Structure 1
Amino acid sequence: MAGDDRVYLFDTTLRDGQQTRGVDFTVADKIAIARALDALGVAYVEGGWPGANPTDDRFFAEPPKLEQARLVAFGMTRRPGRSAENDPGLAAILDARVPAVCLVGKTWDFHVDVALEIERDENVAMIRDSMKRSIAVGREAMFDCEHFFDGYKANPDYAVSCAKAAYESGARWIVLCDTNGGTLPHEIEEIVGEVAKAVPGSHLGIHCHNDTGNAVANSLAAIRAGARQVQGTINGLGERCGNADLMAIIPSLVLKMGIDCGVTPERLTHLTAVSRMLDERLNRPSDPHRAYVGAAAFAHKGGLHVSAVQKDPTTYEHVDPASVGNQRHILVSDQAGRSNILARFAEIGVEIDPKHPKVQRLVEEVKEKEFQGYAFDSAEASFELLARRLIHGVPEYFSIERWRVMDERRFNARGVLVVESEATATLTVDDRACHEVAVGNGPVNALDTAIRKALVPHYPSIEGMRLVDYKVRILPPSRDGDGTDAVTRVMIESADSDGNTWRTVGISPNIIDASIEALADALIWRLLKDGVPAPGTGGPGA
């Protein structure tokens, strides 16, 4: 293919992606996602199916105004036995105030015979009539060839006749769909190449599902064979195993294949932010191992790797992480060497002679603590505090002297079951004792609230902190013993009002004690980053 041929990106997160188990977009979610895709440079944003549900109806009643992308309404071709002018379902799609429509129809003769139970010629007429009607009312028309690759394998002449009917009726795009997701890349490339003899590649699109784990590879194979539109979703959202992931397709097109897809190098730097914005909207953690945009995509843990990356990042990085808005992470764990430690020092702004004996001492300390159960590669804030305490020291902003938690299960006056925790915490701040009591929906929540009540009068900057993730893992005893000797590891992710996040870890045989350690680290790290003066000194906190 020619490298200067434009490939048009078509995002179906708001329609196909919404079919993901557990995903339910609000109208506000849809508008925000559509605008983010528009700013990224996506050519088409499929908003949903008008008439299918109240959310899509409200979305299309007042569709967002996009600067570059064309908003698309999805639906079906006319039904058998009706004209395209007298089909309520088709009318709802064509009445949507958007410039483009994408209509799905059958291209596998098996589905026409068994699912629709109509004559095959009638199915072709339904495609032809629907495309003509869409164009007549001023819409850019696209045809989704459902089950195209299965249909092509079974009856290539019929599958191609359906695609040609749409193209000859004026459809701008004929999208070949691997609906069941079972086709492999070499098959996709071969079949798209054959179809391009009947329908020009400049009018062909590809829509892949990930049931064999090949959706991205299949999409790129179709582009190599001549397709010029590629459909997918943010983070590969979609039913079953998901759709082709545009977060992997876009940088592969731009950085690997040198293809213009509307996303400029400057816009590409926003890719990671778009990926994580979707996860924030869905209130779920981002997959750290997602290609290009995952937090672990450019994370280096082995000492040998880190040493090489510091000399030249291309030794272990296939692209510059900044090109996709991501960043390099040097992880610290029991596999760490001096290179990891020194690289992390540079990241957190700790200056030290590489030959200083404290560097090797810290390496040994990390390995010993990870043997005990700590996990510093996932708790960068706790590692930073460990390093600073050893190298320069950390102010003692407070100390937690004692705590107590009581849990209660009862029925209130209305007969409703109530389970709540009451926590008492005694802290020392600047040589003064602070004693607070708080109620929460669990022991950790209650203790967190009590500790903050004691600290906020002294350190107002922590008032905006919040706990956004809490994970508990029971680790087997490191030495001979029964299960009751197991250690509990608590990982906490905290965030502030500016969207910054940091992770801390605590371990103890007691789950509450481990939680307190992680909570205390989270608070101390935030105070340190805010430059809060050490108690009683008036000087800088770090």
Structure 2
Amino acid sequence: MNPILLYDTTLRDGSQREDISFSVEDKLSIVNRLAAFGMHYIECGWPGSNPKDAEFFARANRLNVPVRLAAFGRTRNAHKLCDDDANLQALVVAGTPAVTLVGKAWDYHVRHVLSTTSEENLAMIADSVAWMKAQGREVIFDAEHFYDGFLANSEYALATLRAAAEAGADWLVLCETNGGKLPWEMEAITREVATRQPGARIGVHCHNDTGCAVANSLAAVRSGATMVQGTINGYGERVGNADLVSILPNLQLKMGHPVLPDDRLLELTTLSRFVAEVANLKHDDHQPYTGHSAFAHKGGIHVAAILKSPDTYQHIDPERVGNVMRSVTSELSGRGNLQLQARRLGLNLDNEAAQHVLGQIKRLEHEGFTFEAAEASVELMFHRLRADYRRPFELLDYFVITERRHGRGLLAEATVKVKVGETTKFTAAEGNGPVNALASALYSALVEDYPVLRSVRLADYKVRILSGSAGTAANTRVLIDFQSGTDVWTTVGANANIIEASWRALSDSMEYAIVRLRDGN
């Protein structure tokens, strides 16, 4: 199998996603991480387009990373000399060893976007490639809209490739810019290009507008492409680019192409989540290969099978890409789900105990609880089954009042009476709302006996109305995330009274924190 080179364009195409804006420091951190991972090419952006990119290129070239950095730009302007073209000059100043030049491959765009002739466009491509080669750069020619152009006028689309190749381009990259093609079209057209351009090194660049960018990239590889351009997590304009996080393991594990050493694949999940964090986006739980749910099993029959043999319901061992197998707990679970989850926590759950917890979960889910995301609440159920387990505190009473008075504004106050060991604690606290006041009062009652709580902070609080037709009398579900350092856990509560639902989630979170942090679990 031919080795395939990966070309990452997260910092340019990925940054064109609507809700992404990378700082210079963000870009530098991503370059370092991609280089350590073993990425072959990193496209860093369009130099000269803005001051941020100018600063970034100046600093990136001092990183001395083991990867080919590329600057991106277009071919020269129509009827202009390359020596007078500010865009080409900026590419040289950027100082990267590789330069990617984008040129039109669809004569429709030549006429209506560039407003020039087909012959002048060919000259623009040839002149720009030759000029950049004379500067000592590796030149990657991105044939924009190539597949649409090929279907409209195949001879002209191929002529743009010949113009670039004869001028010295090192790579001819076929761009599926509008994202509208299907895999069999990609495979047939790429194969014809490989036949008509013997000896050329061919790449592919796909967008995901039909949801086929990964499949289209793999189809192009089947037909002779040996470079795949894409982004981490498929970030990109509109609905995104081809996702290298899916493409890499598919090429290596499914198609047998050597891409990176196997030990690098072990870092794929952390890389995927790292880039999401830097982009300030929640990592997609359902991301293939690297998502939190990619190897999560919910159906009881599935879990019963994987407890006997994991490959019965998994296409690969998740550890090969740095992920883990999980079971999801819900009313659809069987005993196996709980036993698998307990095993991951280092706990032994026999059939009787698992059945007891399962019955409890099914009853609570009928009341409106959900445990798929609230794994800490499930873990507490396991601990409470132990003969030696003693709850760190017991609720006796709580009282919450919210009032609005003229001249004083809004006031929320809560009192909590809990039993800790043989001692009864009675505390009160104010807050900016009833749940905040309740949390503060509970914290005050417990922190003296359990100082580990000093490191705990609220990370998120979510409320969902379960039966909207009931109006303000509807059942309410509350999910609360707490965090201590890098450790995050979620608990759940449900009730028609939002304060009681919040109390259930809140008290479980505090109990979980005490058990986990105090006992070092």
Partner of 1:426 in structure 2?
Answer: 416
* Pair 1:275-2:267 in alignment: no
Q: Is the 8 A contact 2:427 2:444 kept in 1?
A: no
Give the distance between the partners of 1:139 and 1:337, measured in 2 at CA. Answer: 60
RMSD: 2.4
Partner of 1:462 in structure 2?
Answer: 453
Partner of 2:172 in structure 1?
Answer: 174
Shift of 1:526: 2.1
Shift of 1:524: 1.7
Q: Which amino acid aligns with 1:389?
A: R
Partner of 1:536 in structure 2?
Answer: none
Under a length normalisation based on structure 1, what TM-score does the superposition of the two structures give?
Answer: 0.90
Deviation track 1:310-360 (CA, whole Å, cap 9, x = no partner) reads 111111000000011110011111111122222222122222433xx3332
Partner of 1:517 in structure 2?
Answer: 504
Shift of 1:247: 0.7
Partner of 1:19 in structure 2?
Answer: 16
Partner of 2:221 in structure 1?
Answer: 223
Name the SS of the counterpart of 1:29 in structure 2.
Answer: helix
Q: Is the 8 A contact 2:334 2:358 kept in 1?
A: yes
Q: Which residue, out of 385, 388, 391, partners 1:390? A: 385
* Pair 1:307-2:304 in alignment: yes
Deviation track 1:398-455 (CA, whole Å, cap 9, x = no partner) reads 345324354769999xxxxxx9764434353452425243544x55455445544544
Distance 1:17 1:348, change over 3 A: same
* Pair 1:240-2:223 in alignment: no
Partner of 1:500 in structure 2?
Answer: 487
Shift of 1:396: 2.7
Q: Is the 8 A contact 2:326 2:340 kept in 1?
A: no
* Pair 1:46-2:59 in alignment: no
Q: Which residue, out of 354, 359, 369, partners 2:354? A: 359
Q: Which amino acid aligns with 1:493?
A: D
* Long gaps (5+) in structure 2: none
Higher mean displacement: 249-258 or 456-465: 456-465
Partner of 1:527 in structure 2?
Answer: 514
Name the SS of the counterpart of 2:169 in structure 1.
Answer: coil
Give the distance between the partners of 2:80 and 2:406, measured in 1 at CA. Answer: 62
Name the SS of the counterpart of 1:197 in structure 2.
Answer: helix
Deviation track 1:151-187 (CA, whole Å, cap 9, x = no partner) reads 0000011111111211221111111111000011000
Partner of 1:205 in structure 2?
Answer: 203
Distance 1:446 1:70, change over 3 A: farther
Shift of 1:460: 2.9
Distance 1:462 1:57, change over 3 A: farther
Partner of 2:52 in structure 1?
Answer: 55
Higher mean displacement: 84-93 or 345-354: 345-354
Q: Is the 8 A contact 1:186 1:221 kept in 2?
A: yes
Q: Is the 8 A contact 1:492 1:503 kept in 2?
A: yes
* Long gaps (5+) in structure 1: 413-418, 533-540
Q: Which amino acid aligns with 1:505?
A: V
Q: Is the 8 A contact 1:35 1:66 kept in 2?
A: no
Q: Is the 8 A contact 1:488 1:510 kept in 2?
A: yes
Q: Is the 8 A contact 1:398 1:427 kept in 2?
A: no
Distance 1:153 1:339, change over 3 A: same
Give the distance between the partners of 2:200 and 2:483, measured in 1 at CA. Answer: 47
Name the SS of the counterpart of 1:90 in structure 2.
Answer: helix
Q: Which amino acid aligns with 2:400?
A: R
Name the SS of the counterpart of 1:207 in structure 2.
Answer: strand
Partner of 2:162 in structure 1?
Answer: 164
* Pair 1:437-2:429 in alignment: yes
Give the distance between the partners of 1:314 and 1:285, measured in 2 at CA. Answer: 29
Q: Is the 8 A contact 2:285 2:291 kept in 1?
A: yes
Partner of 1:330 in structure 2?
Answer: 327
Distance 1:201 1:506, change over 3 A: farther
Distance 1:520 1:53, change over 3 A: farther
Q: Is the 8 A contact 1:379 1:491 kept in 2?
A: yes
Shift of 1:463: 2.6
Higher mean displacement: 385-394 or 314-323: 385-394
Q: Which amino acid aligns with 1:335?
A: L
Deviation track 1:37-75 (CA, whole Å, cap 9, x = no partner) reads 111111011111112223222211211625322111111
Distance 1:252 1:66, change over 3 A: farther
Name the SS of the counterpart of 1:530 in structure 2.
Answer: helix
Q: Is the 8 A contact 2:452 2:518 kept in 1?
A: no
Give the distance between the partners of 1:325 and 1:79, measured in 2 at CA. Answer: 47
Q: Is the 8 A contact 1:485 1:509 kept in 2?
A: yes
Q: Is the 8 A contact 1:490 1:507 kept in 2?
A: yes
Give the distance between the partners of 1:148 and 1:523, measured in 2 at CA. Answer: 58
Q: Which amino acid aligns with 1:80?
A: A
Name the SS of the counterpart of 2:289 in structure 1.
Answer: coil
Q: Is the 8 A contact 2:456 2:482 kept in 1?
A: yes
* Pair 1:255-2:253 in alignment: yes
Give the distance between the partners of 1:28 and 1:336, measured in 2 at CA. Answer: 45
Q: Which amino acid aligns with 1:437?
A: A
Give the distance between the partners of 2:406 and 2:36, measured in 1 at CA. Answer: 52
Shift of 1:8: 0.6
Distance 1:328 1:426, change over 3 A: same
Distance 1:448 1:105, change over 3 A: farther
Give the distance between the partners of 2:90 and 2:407, measured in 1 at CA. Answer: 51
Name the SS of the counterpart of 1:258 in structure 2.
Answer: coil
Partner of 2:466 in structure 1?
Answer: 475
Name the SS of the counterpart of 2:72 in structure 1.
Answer: strand
Q: Which amino acid aligns with 1:117?
A: S
Partner of 1:402 in structure 2?
Answer: 398
Give the distance between the partners of 1:200 and 1:275, measured in 2 at CA. Answer: 36
For these two proteins, the number of residue pairs brought into alignment is 517
Percent identity (aligned): 45
Shift of 1:283: 2.9
Name the SS of the counterpart of 1:404 in structure 2.
Answer: strand
Partner of 2:341 in structure 1?
Answer: 344
Partner of 2:67 in structure 1?
Answer: 69
Give the distance between the partners of 2:141 and 2:135, measured in 1 at CA. Answer: 16
Partner of 2:371 in structure 1?
Answer: 376
Deviation track 1:83-139 (CA, whole Å, cap 9, x = no partner) reads 111111221122103211111111100000111111111111111111112222222
Q: Is the 8 A contact 1:422 1:439 kept in 2?
A: yes
Distance 1:170 1:464, change over 3 A: farther
Distance 1:524 1:311, change over 3 A: same
Partner of 1:535 in structure 2?
Answer: none
Give the distance between the partners of 1:299 and 1:528, measured in 2 at CA. Answer: 25
* Pair 1:32-2:20 in alignment: no
Q: Which amino acid aligns with 1:26?
A: S
Deviation track 1:475-513 (CA, whole Å, cap 9, x = no partner) reads 129xxx94444211112233321x222221111212233
Under a length normalisation based on structure 2, what TM-score does the superposition of the two structures give?
Answer: 0.93
Higher mean displacement: 218-227 or 273-282: 273-282
Distance 1:482 1:62, change over 3 A: closer
Shift of 1:391: 4.0
